[in-house]
Amino acid sequence: MNKRIYMVCHGNICRSPLAKFLLIKKLAEKKVVGIEVDSAGTSGAHAGQQPDARTMANALTHGLDTSSHRAKQFKSTDFAKFDRIYVMDSANYSDIMLLAMNEEDRSKVELFLEAAHPGSKDSVPDPWYGDEKGFEKVYNIIDKACGIIADKLKKGELP
Ligand code: 4NP
C-alpha cells in the first residue's frame, strides 16, 4: 500500500502547499514510487483559496506552478488517512497534537525539518507577514529539506 504523507502549516497557502509540490517533484526526479503527498492547514480561514500570490510568484521563478492547489483545513479524521504528518512549525505541532485522539495519532506527527535534519527542532519560518525575501528563504529551506526527505524515503529510512 502507498505511504501517505500530509504536509501541514497554518493557512495552507504558503509553506505546506510548497512542501507538497516540492516533495512530489523530488520523488519523481528520484524515481521513488508508492508515496502520496497532500497538504492542509490548521486554520480554515483560507479554505478553497489558491496559494498566496507571493508564494505562487516565487515558486514560478523556480519553474514550479502551484496554482492548481486549493487550501483546506486539517480534520481529526485525517489522522486515519495519513501515515506521516509533517508540521511546518511548533505552533502547528501543538495545534495538531490537540486534535490527536490517541498515541497512534500522536506518533504520526513530526516537525518537517526534524525529518530532514534530525535533532534540529527548527520551524520553517512563517513568511506571511514578511517581504519577498522571506518567501525566497522559505522556498530554499523547503526545497532542500524535500530533497533530503525524498532521498530518505527512497532508502526506506523514514517511518
Ligand atoms: P502558511 O502561512 O501557514 O505557511 O500558509 C500563513 C498564511 C496565512 C496566515 C498565516 C500564515 N494568516 O494569518 O492568515
- What pLDDT is recorded for position 39? 99
The rounded Å distance from CA 93 to ligand 1 centre is 15
Atom of ligand 1 nearest to the CA of 138: 4
User: What phi and psi, each to the nearest 5 degrees, are found at residue 5?
Assistant: -115, 135
Identify the domain containing residue 127 by its residue range.
3-155
> pLDDT tens digits for 71-89?
999 999 999 999 999 999 9
Q: Which residues are catalytic?
A: 9, 15, 126
Alpha-carbon span 38 to 154, nearest angstrom: 18
Distance 149 CA to ligand 1 centre (A): 23
Q: What is the domain-level CATH number for residue 11? A: 3.40.50.2300
DSSP codes of every residue in 67-122: TT----B--TTHHHH-SEEEESSHHHHHHHHHH--SHHHHHTEEEHHHHHSTT--P
For 69, phi then psi, to 5°, come to: -70, 140
Complete edge-to-edge strand list for the sheet that includes strand 3-9: 35-41, 3-9, 84-87, 109-111
Ligand 1 geometric centre to CA of 33 (Å): 31
Cell of 109: 506527527
Predicted pLDDT at 1: 81
Convert the pLDDT of each residue in 33-73 to its tens digit: 999 999 999 999 999 999 999 999 999 999 999 999 999 99
Domain count along the chain: 1
Q: Which of the listed residues 8, 9, 10 should we mutate to test ligand 1's pocket, taking the one with most ligand atoms within 8 A of CB?
A: 10
